Structure 1
Amino acid sequence: MRVLVATGAFQDLTSAQTGAAMARAWAEFGAQCAVVPIAETGQGFGRAWADLVQAGPTDWSDVEVFAADGGMALRFVDENPAEADEPSSSERLGVSVAALLARAEHDGLPLPELWLEVPAWTWGDGGAGFWHATRQCHARLRGLRLHLVTTSAQAGLQLTGLRGITAATMHTTGAHPGELLAADQRLVDWCTSMGDPALGTTQGAGAVGGLGAAVLALGGDIVTGPREIARHARLADSVQQADLVVTGYDELDFGSKGGDLVPVVTELAESAGRPVVALARHNWISARELRTMGVEQGYALQSEGQGEAEVLAADGITAACRTIAGTWHW
């Protein structure tokens, strides 16, 4: 029997460690197991990508960067926003990227792809700060495959117009319509200055406070972590070779329904006609609802009485999976 494990991270473990712990339970029954680390932005995407391609961390900058011959993944969190009376800017991210490119060139490291993971931000500048800080590197950025890793919700945002970020944010603050229109026009003008007046209404341009617009203008794309790792790992091919697909999400509930991760796995499994078992520390979704999501069966690895503070270690995951593996084994 061949089992493919493609799971997110549980608590303090990485997605690779979580998957390996699950796979050990099936391996005890003699199954051939393959583990693909997979993660969302802000939930270990960079680490999962690094484990997938065997990339190592660098000490090149003050942000988290993993590097390998296949590219680099940079994780940036806007932890030091501007003062309250100053507009927030994506400039610091641009400075970090410019420094990263300079270091890679200095060390002769090939950089065919670059993934930018920004799980938290305070800016709404349409990527202007990033654009100006990387101006000397635009040719280099256009020459590689640039990806902004975000959530599916962010990937669908526009920058300008009625569905733009200005309309969404300023309405909630009770701003005057005139202010809203003026702010939106500034973003329209900004897109024009980047070379594409229609860029603002392009899907994904509003992602990450408008950083998506700058990334798109540089020839990049807006992706989600699970889909990007699935592409990079050729997960569809692995699913075709498996008899059973096991996925995992730290908490399965009606709000997230496995986030961006579980739907990617179930979509590939459904196309290949392979059954999917979903594992979680806690599962609040009924079997009927899980089946509508493409999951044959869902299991909680911790009982309801176990609190969030109780850590489920790797050995505990393996132990909790043994009964499940015994049921899903042939």
Structure 2
Amino acid sequence: MRVLIAPDKFAGTLSAPQAARAIAEGWSRAAPGDTTVLVPMSDGGPGFVVGLHASLGGELQTVTGVRGPLGVPVDAPLLLVDGRSGSRTAYVESATACGLHLEQRRSPEDASTYGVGQLVAAAVDAGATSVVVGLGGSTTTDGGAGLLAALGARADVPLDAGPAGLAGVTSVDLSAVRERLARVTLVAATDVRSPLLGLFGAARTFGPQKGLDDAAIVRVDAILDAFVVAVCGSEPAQRKVADLPGAGAAGGLGFALQVLGATVEPGVTMVADAVGLADHARGCDLVLTGEGAYDVTSRDGKVVYGVAEIAGEALRPCVVLAGKVLVGSRERRAMGVEAAYAMVDTVGEETSLAEPEESLRRLAERVARTWSDR
């Protein structure tokens, strides 16, 4: 029996490659004769670059001294993959430069995406003809102003000081940025379809998890509205980029990238295409996927839903292994998932958090006893 193992990260405990290995090791305990095919996945958030490197290979570089969200330097990965006819695609991950996990202290109105712009600049300097930016897991809500600043944008206020620094903005000059990226194709990979502004925008939807209180959400949303006018103009036709799906991704990085001509692709779909997930699924008998918490939000462009869709198209059963399972059988079937199993049900929550790899191995061993035809 051939088993495809294509999990997402288990947030806060295991990266996608670690999760895939743990599932494979546990499965082999119960079914040593089965063949496991490991394809770690990502939706564009944390683990995007590492997961792609595990499947695509390529040259993984470290960009040192990238500015973190509050100015503390960090090291961040840059993946370069050469294609045909001299093309070179670079993959960068916003979370490695402005991720929530990088904060030493919470100061959401000061957090900047400048470091993401530095990664894009490093990719261009490395000869990339296409730059794919994975969006997700950010602590920023600056509309991508920091990214634009790192690439050469100029304004009448600081662009690299978070949304607070944008207060009073009236003009932004992107001519130097457009010139620098004139021969580069940009792609934003994300699972978020939110616009930049308003009730479902970046500040209101994701601000609370980044530390913005109610008053700050209103304040930041107004600042971003003025930023849109400064970048695009005040007419509805000029401002429409702020309303596009994905403009609110990663605190507005999606907006900045789309202003520069980026296309937005579902992160899981893009990763699945890059690693040939459909071909892998057709060549296996069973598809396993997983994430930390399998819940109703898993349907919103997340890895589990994307993998289940591909498994369904290949007429292969899909089974989920998760830290927690918070959906019922009806929702599970609607996502194309045959069965779902939780680590907390097997070893308990305390052990799941303290020993995540071994807990996932034990869960996979249990699942193999049910699903393997050994």
Q: Provide the rounded CA distance (Å) in 2 between the counterparts of 1:3 and 1:93.
A: 37
C-alpha deviation, 1:134, in angstroms: 1.0
Q: Provide the rounded CA distance (Å) in 1 between the counterparts of 2:26 and 2:147.
A: 46
Matches within 5 A, 1:143-222: 143-150=183-190, 152=191, 155-160=192-197, 164-165=201-202, 172-173=214-215, 184=225, 186-192=227-233, 196-222=238-264
Task: Identify the range of structure 1 (64-73 vs 259-268) with the bigger mean alpha-carbon deviation.
Answer: 64-73
Aligned to 2:151: 134
Aligned to 2:339: 297
Percent of aligned pairs with the same amino acid: 28
Q: Pick from 350, 355, 363 the counterpart of residue 311 of structure 1.
A: 355
Does structure 2 retain, via aligned residues, the 8 Å contact 1:25–1:322?
A: yes
Work out the number of aligned pairs and report it.
Answer: 318
C-alpha deviation, 1:231, in angstroms: 1.9
Distance 1:325 1:147, change over 3 A: same
Does structure 1 retain, via aligned residues, the 8 Å contact 2:92–2:119?
A: no
Q: Provide the rounded CA distance (Å) in 2 between the counterparts of 1:299 and 1:313.
A: 15
Matches within 5 A, 1:240-279: 240-254=282-296, 256=298, 260-279=302-321
Task: Identify the range of structure 1 (70-79 vs 1-10) with the bigger mean alpha-carbon deviation.
Answer: 70-79
Does structure 1 retain, via aligned residues, the 8 Å contact 2:40–2:54?
A: yes
Q: Provide the rounded CA distance (Å) in 2 between the counterparts of 1:163 and 1:306.
A: 33
The answer to whether residue 138 in structure 2 is matched with residue 120 in structure 1 is yes
Task: Identify the range of structure 1 (41-50 vs 236-245) with the bigger mean alpha-carbon deviation.
Answer: 41-50
Aligned to 1:5: 5
Q: Provide the rounded CA distance (Å) in 2 between the counterparts of 1:85 and 1:14.
A: 25
SS of the aligned residue for 1:313 comes to helix
Q: Pick from 69, 75, 91 the counterpart of residue 72 of structure 1.
A: 91
Does structure 2 retain, via aligned residues, the 8 Å contact 1:50–1:66?
A: no
Q: Deviations over 1:130-155 (max 9, x none)?
A: 224313453453533423343x3xx3
C-alpha deviation, 1:85, in angstroms: 12
Distance 1:80 1:175, change over 3 A: closer
Letter matched to residue 131 of structure 1: L
Does structure 1 retain, via aligned residues, the 8 Å contact 2:108–2:140?
A: no
SS of the aligned residue for 1:216 comes to helix
Does structure 1 retain, via aligned residues, the 8 Å contact 2:42–2:303?
A: yes
Q: Provide the rounded CA distance (Å) in 1 between the counterparts of 2:354 and 2:225.
A: 47
Does structure 2 retain, via aligned residues, the 8 Å contact 1:19–1:37?
A: yes
What stretches of structure 1 of length at least 5 have no aligned partner? none
Q: Pick from 305, 316, 321 the counterpart of residue 364 of structure 2.
A: 321
Task: Identify the range of structure 1 (155-164 vs 6-15) with the bigger mean alpha-carbon deviation.
Answer: 155-164
Distance 1:119 1:147, change over 3 A: farther
Does structure 1 retain, via aligned residues, the 8 Å contact 2:61–2:78?
A: yes
C-alpha deviation, 1:225, in angstroms: 3.5
Q: Provide the rounded CA distance (Å) in 1 between the counterparts of 2:55 and 2:47.
A: 12
The answer to whether residue 60 in structure 2 is matched with residue 56 in structure 1 is yes
Q: Provide the rounded CA distance (Å) in 2 between the counterparts of 1:174 and 1:157.
A: 19
TM-score (norm 2): 0.70
SS of the aligned residue for 2:233 comes to helix
